[in-house]
Chains A and B, each alone.
Chain A
Amino acid sequence: MAANPMNQFEVYRIGPEIKIGTFDISFTNASLFMIVSSFAILFIFNLGSKKKSVIPNKIQLLAELSYSFVAKMISDTAGSKARPYFAFIFSLFMFVLFCNMFGMIPYTFTVTSHIIVTFMLAAFIFIGVTIIGFIKHGFGYLKLFVPSGVPLVLLPLIVVIEIISYLSRPISLSVRLFANMMAGHTMMKVFGGFVVSLGIVGGWLPLSFSVALTGLEILVAFLQAYVFAILTCIYLNDALNLHH
């Protein structure tokens, strides 16, 4: 059973089955790790914002550094108009980052390795960004699909391509995160299985691979959270500052 590398992604019920109508909303291991991640974020940032000392201690420095990191990321990509969406992007980045990082602890569950979770986040971002765009620019937002300086002959083709690329944003955004997480964790599991099957004689090579992969996966966990947040910023930038 443990040899199956996909087993770690299995969702199972914790506690009783809860149903609203026909929908099953039971508390699962996925829900548990969502709550754990959220509470970890809230705990750390609450601790980091409690004291208002001029010279920060370590946890306060951590909170302030991540605050200014996300703030800089937003102002670099989406400009000053994106200021009201700072809290959302900050919580999004932290949520994805903490879910990814909690998944790196052995025997835990990676929330972001499930397509439905990442797709929900991406779909929410997509719908939100589209609404913001239409509110800010009215029907002028449709100019996003008509890039300037394109020959008139190519225009129908370009518009179709632009619309497809726009509509595929939530899919690419969600699949990128989900696939990265799933592939990394599967690979680590496979190498872990090799360690067991090759035993004490030949198991050292896959073990060293596994150690190296752990480092890589921690990097990927951070990087994917960053990419997710920065792509959100870029989409937001398209909606706020119509450049085309």
Chain B
Amino acid sequence: MIKKIFFQSIFFNFLFFREVFAAESGGMPQLNPEFWVSQIFWLIITFGILYIVLSKFILPKISSNLELRKSQIQENIETAEKQREISEVKLKEYDEIILKSKLEAKNIFKNAREKVIKDINKKKEILDKQIDEEISNAEQEIKTLKRDATDKINKIAIETSSDLLKKLIGTEINNSSISAIVDDLSKKNKDKYYGS
């Protein structure tokens, strides 16, 4: 029963809606040819004006502006590229200069070092020579001293022995006889003292 009423109501509703649609507009207004010619006419006019104005006045401006920007950007890129190249060349030059100056500095340092070493060696040689000379001088002196020493000692020995004899005996004794004795003794003892 309820189902029946439900379906009936749907059916009647459907009828009612159809009536409403039919009464108000008679279907789609799009299919009503009353204003078709008017729409076609105004479409041609508005679209034609739109097309003419866009294609003749506005689009060329936009495209030229785009081209202008493109070329300008291209130009800027090119100048930037050029400047980059220039700066690269300069950088290379700079590097070369630095390398050169480094080499130069190295050379100068080397030369200076060599010079200093040479000087030092020269001075060392001179000093060595001087030292050698002095050493040889001293040795000679020592030698002469050594040579003189025995004579002096002999002399002293002769004098002291003559003095002693004088005091002991009270008579003057010939120096030559004493010296002969001292010489004899000293010759005997020379080996003992000097180890020659």
Contacts and interface: CB of A to CB of B under 8 A. Distances in A.
A24 B43 contact: no
B31 to A, nearest CB: 7
A54 interface: yes
B47 A26 contact: no
Contacts of B21: 4, 6
B59 interface: yes
A102 interface: no
Interface residues of B, number: 41
B46 A34 contact: yes
Contact of A120 (B35, B40, B50, B53): B40
Interface of B: 20-21, 24-25, 27-32, 34-44, 46-47, 49-51, 53-55, 57-59, 61-66, 68-69, 72
24 contacts: A4-B20, A6-B25, A6-B29, A9-B28, A24-B35, A24-B37, A26-B35, A28-B38, A30-B38, A30-B42, A38-B50, A42-B54, A42-B58, A49-B65, A52-B61, A54-B69, A64-B66, A67-B62, A68-B66, A91-B55, A95-B50, A111-B43, A115-B30, A117-B40
A41 interface: yes
Nearest to B31: A115
Contacts of A48: 62
B54 A64 contact: no
A4 B25 contact: yes
The 3 A-B residue pairs with the shortest CB-CB distance in the complex, in nearest-first order: A87-B55, A31-B42, A49-B61
A50 to B, nearest CB: 8
Chain A contact residues: helix, strand, loop or mixed: helix
Interface residues of A, number: 49
B43 A34 contact: yes
Contacts of A67: 59, 62-63, 66
Interface in A27-48: 27-28, 30-31, 34-35, 37-38, 41-42, 45-46, 48
Residue of A60, A64, A94 ringed by the most chain B CB atoms within 10 A? A64
B54 A87 contact: yes
B50 A91 contact: yes
A114 B32 CA distance: 10
A25 B54 contact: no
B39 A28 contact: yes
Interface string A51-62: 010100000100
Contact of A87 (B25, B42, B51): B51
